Chains A and B, each alone.
Chain A
Amino acid sequence: MTFKLLKQASQKTFLGAIGAAALSVVAMGTVQADPVTVVSWGGSYGKAQDAALFTDASKNSGIEINRESGASMSKVMLQVESGAVTWDLVVSGSGGCAAAAAKGALEKIDFNVVDVSNFLPNTYTDYCIGSDVFATVFAWNTEKYGEPGSAGAPNSWADFWDVKKFPGTRAIRLNNVDGVLEPAVMAMGIPPEKVYEFLSSEGGIEKAIAKIRELKPHISVYWKSGAMQAQLMKDKEVDMITGWNGRFDNAKKDGATVGYTFNQALRDYDGFGIPKGAPNKDMAMKFLAEVSKPQYQANLPFHITYGPTNKVAYEVTTAPKELLEALPSHPNNVSKMLAVDLDWYANYREKALELYMELLSE
């Protein structure tokens, strides 16, 4: 796999070089700078960002962009370490972004360029600018367990674990412990506000792992990506699954019989980072400033049910009330959720991951 990644990286470099060469030929005689390489994820998330943010921001600012998929902070770190950085602006989860920043792989954000004065609290850091608020929820096949909120439908992590009341198959995350342990703790009956306290206590992680082990016989698949969460529900491959709320709403739009609840969900945000030594760092910063403006974020809910990080977006958006109420950042929903604690991850992630991997390999 190391080789595979190296190969991909070198291919990217190579293709990037060819692309740059080709573009420089095309652009000869103009003063246009190199396009900014913006990297996001596949599936409905990347499409939503294209539709809401990137296309219009590029048009309005005159900054040309070059879209790529397959964003990953580990690839960013590889590019930075090998001194062959080709990406300019990269999407990441808040945790991944923080980890990459801790390893010195990201450029510091220039807040003179990027205006975060109207951002929701805790949706940006010195290295990472939040783009949307999302929630890790549990979703289910509504044909099997009923519509959300209806009588008898699952409503808590305890229900996710209750295979007697809700017999069927389950799916949880593979090889990544982010958002995995908190549900187990809540399923044990610990209230949301005590979850991280519990996990930080002696033997807390082990108890959470043991709770997951309890469910293991009923887990038929482990998912690796948001696209896979959606696919598993569309194919009715599993009956109940953990995942990101926006993916399930889009799966539902595609005809999947899937529903979820924000009750006990984990609130988190995605954001952008600029790799250290990015070839078009300054332009990337300007483009980041552009997409962080409320008028673009205001369009995001139309394409994926993730909430804007810029408060002004909620004022200028033309989205109907029902849509706004379906966002994880809506005050009604926020109150039901547990905010992901990045400090806990900074301290305990490595140990938690090793123990989780050990559980998976059992």
Chain B
Amino acid sequence: MTPRPTSHRDEALNATKLRVAERRQSLLVLALTLPAIIAVFLVIVIPVGWLFSLSFLDSNGELSLVNYEKMIAYKSYLRVFKTTFNVSFLTTFLCIVIGYPLAYFLSQIPRKYVGLFMLTVLLPFWTSLLVRTYAWLVMLQRNGLINNFAIDLGIWDAPVKLAHNLNGTLIGMVHIMLPFLVLPLYAAMRRIDRHALQAAANLGATPVQAFWQIFVPLSLPGVVAGSLIVFVLCLGFYVTPAVLGGGKVILVSMQITAILEDQFNWGAASALGVVLLVSTFAVLLVASRFLKLDSVMFGRR
């Protein structure tokens, strides 16, 4: 090898050229992501910012905390938040109780049959939310299908109150939220190493022991991911509780609608939105503290 002629300048060979190439590459990456960044800014950052600023204005457009003071002054706001968190928690809990066995079943059958069964889980996804909700109303109300059927069969004598209350709200919400739990949970269960269960059996674990001591702990990231999705979606859910709750289960979203539609008070509605947003973040923050959220979200172990 003959030595290459070195530059007479005080610079390592090709350093400038390589630096330029590096910078060009990062600019290119930026250019490619820019449309998405702009879209996020326009669609999320600006409206949320607007929401925040509105909440600090009184009806005359003056800077004030009146909207937040009102939330403290009237008990209805605190109660509505309590109800919202209660209903969200109950819905999430019921989704786990119903969704876990379902996801487990899906994860255990041969892959070629999964599509068929998954269809039954996903079918509701493809029908209108409103249609499904009103369908439940038809089923659950006082003279609805379920009550009439049960009374005809003599299962119970008088109509049972299934709709226009917490029961109906939960039934409808669980039905709509179930896929959001089952899908991530199923994915997490499919990721569980079959050999880990074989290893457990090999080491002497009965199928029941292997399930509780190995499968369940390993599926927990999926449970947490699915539960968080469901819980957060529930916090802002409107249609189903509005229709099936019969006005007896008032969630934050419904309170916001009421304030907008009947008081035209954008500031107060925005303030509720802000508090809901902040409490949602608080839930996520607490969850991330206790549940190592990043590992759940990104599948690291």
Contacts and interface: CB of A to CB of B under 8 A. Distances in A.
Interface of A: 1-6, 72-74, 77, 81, 99-100, 103, 169, 174-178, 220-224, 235-238, 350, 353-354, 357-358, 360-362
B47 A72 contact: no
Contacts of A222: 246-248
B295 interface: no
B264 A360 contact: no
A237 B138 CA distance: 11
B238 interface: yes
B232 interface: no
Contact of B74 (A169, A174, A357): A357
Given A77-B264, A221-B164, A1 B74 contact: no
A2 B143 contact: no
B247 A360 contact: yes
B255 to A, nearest CB: 7
Interface residues of B, number: 38
Contacts of B47: 3, 6
Given A2-B51, A2-B273, A236 B142 contact: yes
Given A176-B258, A237-B142, A360 B76 contact: yes
Contact of A358 (B74, B163, B266): B74
A74 B79 contact: no
B263 A350 contact: yes
Identify the interface centre among B143, B164, B269: most chain A CB within 10 Å of its CB.
B164
Interface of B: 47, 51, 70, 74-76, 79-80, 83, 141-144, 161, 163-165, 238, 242, 246-248, 250, 253-258, 260-264, 266, 269-270, 273
Nearest to B141: A237
B255 A357 contact: yes
Given A4-B238, A176-B258, A237-B141, A74 B75 contact: no
11 contacts: A169-B142, A174-B247, A175-B247, A175-B261, A220-B161, A224-B247, A235-B141, A237-B163, A354-B70, A357-B255, A358-B75
Given A1-B256, A99-B264, A354 B76 contact: yes
A361 B76 contact: yes
B144 to A, nearest CB: 8
A322 to B, nearest CB: 31
B247 A100 contact: no
B76 to A, nearest CB: 4
Nearest to B255: A357
Contacts of B51: 2
